[in-house]
Amino acid sequence: MNPLKRFGIDTYMLLLMAMVGAGVLLPAQGLIAVGLKQVTWWAVSLLFFLYGAKLDPRSVRSQLMNWRLQGLTLAATYLLFPVLGLIFCTVFGPLLGAQVTLGVLFLAVLPSTVQSSIAFTAISGGNVPAAICAASLSNLIGVVLTPLLVTLLLNRGGVSTGPEAIIGIAKQILVPFALGQILRPRIGGFVARHRLLTMVVDRGSILLIVYAAFSAGTVAGLWQAIPALRLVTLAAVIALFLALALIIMIRAGKFFRLPEADRSALLFCGATKSIATGLPIAAALFPPDQVGAIVLPAMLYHMSQLLVCAFLSQRPRR
């Protein structure tokens, strides 16, 4: 067994780092970049089709009545995080530069993770149906709410948040999800039995998007404009952001006297951010040459949350 896996450093994490390196050192250009964009679009659509085919609406409906947990999770994702993002951008913006600061704010309005939050909740012995409901609702709402929050909070040129962008996101994410739900009675059992299929599509689409985003940034000469000191500063800011989010979720679970199982679901659904949903939204909203810098904070946050949450999920059992 890989000893690093205990701390969240598994093959997927190493592949993420490899895609970042490949995008910087061997960027896709020309026809390859165009083909990569098409493959990535369809991979993300397939991913959300599989999500729709796998999600049981009955489990979601039953957990909607757990209003304290669901309300706290949504409030953390779409109220607490945007406020923290504004504060962090105000305080650290001069050190990070305009585009990276924009990326921190974009990170703040992303929905919760689906796969990771559910997995960590299960490992910790938490309320898995509630985590499924919270993560699914967060992502479905985020398809519409994230672009609207981008419009509200960013309000700057180069951000495409008009009806065309939202329709494009809906076509890529919501329509395949709805189609999966419609076909669930026929194919839901097959998808549930073949979990490896969903995992390969999930992680594969993320790897493709990461490579495409960092390739576009490299071709545009973006990385020469981001000094090493700024990257180190960004890593420290993201670490502080994650630590603060985790502490607030732990305190909120205790303050509102949630059952122990619900506290785990709140912790892992409320403090995590999804790049599976966030990266396609970023690609639809921002110019290709800016996507790499804008998703960089989300990438660092994603890697950090995997490491920290993998450790925290083991604590109840130990």
Q: Provide the CA 230 distance to its chain's centre, in angstroms.
A: 23
Mean pLDDT, rounded, for 289-300: 82
> For residue 101, which of 229, 299, 293, 303 has the smallest C-alpha distance?
293
Question: Using an 8 Å Cβ cutoff, are 77 and 111 in contact?
Answer: yes
* φ, ψ of residue 237 in degrees (nearest 5): -65, -45
Q: Model confidence at 222, in pLDDT bands (50, 70, 90)?
A: low
Is the pLDDT score of 156 beyond 70?
A: no
Is the pLDDT score of 211 beyond 60?
A: yes
List the domains of the chain with CATH numbers.
Answer: 6-311 (1.20.1530.20)
Share of the chain above pLDDT 70, in %: 86
How confident is the model over 15-47, as pLDDT tens digits? 878 888 888 888 888 888 888 888 888 887 887
CA distances to 214, 279, 285, 290, 316 from 148, rounded to whole Å, are 25, 16, 11, 19, 38
Alpha-carbon distance 13 to 274, whole Å?
15
- With b for 16 or more beta-carbon neighbours within 10 A and e for fewer, the 231-266 pattern comes to eebbeebbeebbeebbebbbebbeeeebeebbbbbb
> Which pair of tokens denotes residue 163?
């009806």
Question: Using an 8 Å Cβ cutoff, are 188 and 51 in contact?
Answer: no
Is the pLDDT score of 262 beyond 90?
A: yes
Helices (H), 55-127: 57-64, 67-75, 81-96, 98-108, 115-123
Best mean pLDDT range from 107-121, 219-233, 239-253: 239-253
The whole-chain average pLDDT of the chain stands at: 81
Alpha-carbon distance 303 to 305, whole Å?
6
Angle between helices 57-64 and 128-153 (to 10 degrees): 80
Q: What does the pLDDT read at residue 318?
A: 43
Mean pLDDT, rounded, for 221-238: 83
Is the pLDDT score of 159 beyond 60?
A: no
User: Among the listed ranges 109-113, 138-142, 217-221, which one has the minimum average pLDDT value?
Assistant: 217-221
> Which pair of tokens denotes residue 55?
């999600």
Mean pLDDT, rounded, for 263-275: 91
Q: How many CB atoms lie within 10 A of CB 134?
A: 34
Q: What is the DSSP string of 233-256?
A: HHHHHHHHHHHHHHHHHHHHHHHT
> Which pair of tokens denotes residue 307?
């490491």
Question: Using an 8 Å Cβ cutoff, are 53 and 191 in contact?
Answer: yes
> Which pair of tokens denotes residue 109?
């309005």
Is the pLDDT score of 84 beyond 90?
A: yes
pTM, 2 dp: 0.75
- With b for 16 or more beta-carbon neighbours within 10 A and e for fewer, the 16-32 pattern comes to beebbebbeeebbeeee
Q: What does the pLDDT read at residue 246?
A: 95
* φ, ψ of residue 273 in degrees (nearest 5): -130, 140
Share of the chain above pLDDT 90, in %: 23
Mean pLDDT, rounded, for 307-311: 78
